[in-house]
Amino acid sequence: MKAVILDRDGVINQDSDHYIRSVQEWQPIPGSIEAIARLSRSGWAVAVCTNQSGIARGYFSQDILEEMHCRLRQLVRNAGGQVDGIFVCPHGPDDHCGCRKPEPGLLLQASKELGFPLSGVPVIGDAERDLVAARVVGARPILVLTGKGRRTLERGAAGDAVIFPDLAAAVESLLQYD
Residues noted as catalytic: 7, 9
CA 88-121-72 angle, to 5 degrees, is: 40
- Residue 164, H or E segment: strand 162-164
Q: How far is CA 125 from CA 78, 115, 142, 143, in A?
A: 24, 21, 6, 5
Distance CA 47, CA 113 (A): 10
Half-sphere exposure of 65 (CA within 13 A, CB side): 20
For residue 5, give the nearest of 173, 169, 176, 167 by alpha carbon.
167
Q: How far is CA 38 from CA 1, 33, 41, 104, 149, in A?
A: 16, 9, 5, 26, 22
Distance CA 10, CA 12 (A): 6
- Residue 87, H or E segment: strand 85-89
